[in-house]
Each structure stands twice: as C-alpha cells, then as structure tokens.
Structure 1
C-alpha cells in the first residue's frame, strides 16, 4: 500500500507492507510510479520516501519470479528501471529514509534517491550471489555511482547482510540516526536547507549532477 501527501513544499511517500515486508512487486511499482507522476508539476521541492513495518523495501518476491517466463522477467526489469529513472528525472530532491531492512531491489530503490539516511538498526544486503541471480533493476550500475568500489563489490559478491555503519563508510548513506524519531528529525533539518532554494535551480542542478555521473 502506498500513501502520498504534500505539505509545505515537501512530498511524503510512505510504503506500508501488505505482508511482512515492503515487497517491490509489479502492482507496488506501478502504484509508486503513478504517485510520483502526480508530483512532477506540483510545488513540492522534496520527495521523502519511507517504509513502515520494519523495512524500507526488500525487492521482488523471489517465489513469484521463479514462475516468470523470459518475457515476464524482462518486462518486470523494465518496469523497475522505469521507476528508478523517474526518481532521477523528477524535479524534486529525493530522500530515502531507511528504518529496518533494505534488501536487493530495495537497495537499488534507495540508490536512485539523491540522498539516503538510515537508522542504526537498519540492515542492507544484495543477496543475488547467494540465489544465483543478478539484479534486473540496474543496481549494478546505480550503486557503484554512489558507493566506494571495495564496499559495493563486497555487497554484491558476498551477498551478506551489512549494517548501517558499513553503508555509511562506503558512501551509500548520507547520515546514520539513532532511531526512527531521530531519523525524521535529522531529515527535517536537512530538508530545511533545500526548500528555501529556487525550485527550477534545484531541478537543473540535479539534472546536471546526474548526467555527470
């Protein structure tokens, strides 16, 4: 389930799990895309993305993917990349607020944001090497743009679970917070530095930076 609201030039996109975690299935990705499209012409300067229920996002449902044909798998990959490209192209500054598990395609999702903050309890993994798969959401291209080489290689190749400190030292995270309340407060403070800027200026700065990666 997705909730979108806009308040004082800040948009809030909240993922609420229908099961145990926030799974990026076809329905959810389409819902997020449709929600974000409504923001493009809005006065919002910032988009804050948060996942409830102990996870930011945990990627696709592997059991569902096992039943995909080659055509289905390609379509799902294209859909995921469509979402992440949209996040990079919209005029809003996108901030991922991570509290809990961020796994597989969820890491790719966060990598498409402009900034990433996480709580100390958050855990990260890209377990494809343990499952015999490679992410189809473009994470092998996006994550190296925001993370140091030795760190993203360890993330992908081992498939192990890493803490927020590892991701911060690797350059993936902009900041680490004590808990969910501290996360919100820190991002609130950071957002104040953005919303007093000209919206058009922010948009062109974002585009130039992204194209220069």
Structure 2
C-alpha cells in the first residue's frame, strides 16, 4: 500500500514506521504524503485506538529532511513546503487518539520535529536529538521552533537551535523532551505497555485531555474555559455513568466511547 512507510495493526495500536533505512529514513515529499494518509487511518478506523510512530533500521528514527529537495526552492516554495509540514504535524498533535513517538536512533531536523508533534516520546538509549538546520542556513520549518521551546524552555531551545548540537537520550530525558529512555529492544514494548494502559480508560475522556492540554499552550484559546466546557461535556456521556457505577460497585469499568 505504501512505498516509504509501513503500517502494522497490533492490539488496536497502529505501528507506523518510516521505511527508508538506506536514507536514514529522511523525510521527502512522498514520506510526508504517505504519513498523512497513515494518520488519516488513525483518525478514521474504529479498530485503531492509538498509534506509534517509529523508524526502520538500526540507526535512525528520522535523520532529517531530504536536503536534495531543498536546493532549487524559492522563498515562496519553501514557505509552501513548511505549510504542508505544519498541517501534517498539527494533525498528529491534535489527534484525539494518543500517538507516541518511539525514537530508535537519530531524530534530527524534521525527525525531531516529527517526534515533538507526537503526544509524547519514548527513546532508546542510542537515540540522539537535534535541530541542526542552521548548519544549512535554515531554521526548523515544521513547528520545531515552537514545540522545542514549549517542551524544554526558551533558553535551552535557543541554544540547541543556534548551535545545532545533538543531545543524547539521557540529556533529552533530563530536559523533559522525552518521557522514558529504554534499551532499544524494549522500545516498542514500552510504548505498547503505556498505550494498553490508556486503552483501558474512557476514550472520550482521553480525547478531551488531549484537547485541553493543547489549549493550555494556545494563545488564542482560554484553556481554563476549555477545561470547564470539556469537563461538563463528560457528564453527557455513557462512559461517565459507567465509570461512576464501576467505582461504586468496586469493579473494572467497561468503556464504550459513548
């Protein structure tokens, strides 16, 4: 079905793997288009409750964009390319189903930006993160200047983006860029372990958590008002009734997403 990515559905988790190991899984226009289609699957397929984005091979999650595509672009074309990237990564960020980045090697440039668009990140011990665009006379263009600043703070983000330095998985963990660091062979198992725990919760409540957390960082939205509205909306769901009944009856709830 896809040329540059692979998808596998297991335990209601869609594993999306960028599959260009000979190119260190670099993002080109085909990858971006196919990634967008895979994210559509996450949104639209009922059998998919969550997703993991990772890379194929031993070395890279995504080691950046395909620089060969940049050489002949005009300023207008560059802005158009960035807008397309923003649209796809924002769709990942705003997905009502959880999407985890399982970073299995280099996550540089557009690869770091892809990982940051996910709801959170798990890294293997050999993972490396960075925004080295200044080495090419560029800046991050797929949301990296914004998400990195949100995740690690302005001072650290500016240093990383101005120096182009790479950081290790433990350093990324210390900065709050990643949630967990595990051995490479345990990476997908750790992601699945977390997602299976999430699957046991009320899916409408999970979607509302995602929405409210994003509202906290949106200058055009009153996050507190969003929380009030979404909290109230929970009371119109069958899942809340089931959750309350299960709590009172001292049993495990059976949520249906209604």
Of 134, 138, 152 in structure 2, the residue corresponding to residue 133 of structure 1 is 138
Looking at CA atoms only, which structure, 1 or 2, has the larger radius of gyration?
A: 2
Could you say which residue in structure 2 is the equivalent of 1:79?
Answer: 84
Could you say which residue in structure 2 is the equivalent of 1:3?
Answer: 6
- How many residue pairs get aligned? The number is 212
Residue deviations 1:98-120 (CA, integer Å, cap 9, x gap):
11111011111111011101111
Question: Does the residue aligned with 1:134 lie in a helix, a strand or coil?
Answer: coil
> 2-side partners of 1:164 and 1:148: how far apart?
17
Question: Does the residue aligned with 2:43 lie in a helix, a strand or coil?
Answer: coil
Greater relative contact order (CA < 8 Å, ≥ 6 in sequence): 1
Distance change (3 Å), C-alpha of 1:6 and 1:155 = same
Distance change (3 Å), C-alpha of 1:155 and 1:61 = same
Q: CA RMSD in A?
A: 1.5
1:13-162 superposed matches below 5 A: 13-17=16-20, 19-43=22-46, 44-53=48-57, 54-162=59-167
Of 187, 192, 195 in structure 2, the residue corresponding to residue 188 of structure 1 is 192
Q: TM-score, normalised by structure 2?
A: 0.78
Question: Does the residue aligned with 1:137 lie in a helix, a strand or coil?
Answer: coil
* Residue 18 of structure 1: how far off its partner (Å): 5.7
**Farther off after superposition, 146-155 or 9-18:** 146-155
- The answer to whether the aligner puts 1:200 opposite 2:182 as a matched pair is no
> 1-side partners of 2:66 and 2:23: how far apart?
12
Question: Does the residue aligned with 2:65 lie in a helix, a strand or coil?
Answer: coil
* Residue 129 of structure 1: how far off its partner (Å): 2.2
Instruction: Give unmatched runs, 5+ long, in structure 2.
Output: 218-258
Residue deviations 1:12-50 (CA, integer Å, cap 9, x gap):
111111633111111110110011112212232211111
Residue deviations 1:81-107 (CA, integer Å, cap 9, x gap):
011110012221010001111101111
Question: Does the residue aligned with 2:140 lie in a helix, a strand or coil?
Answer: coil
Instruction: Give unmatched runs, 5+ long, in structure 1.
Output: none
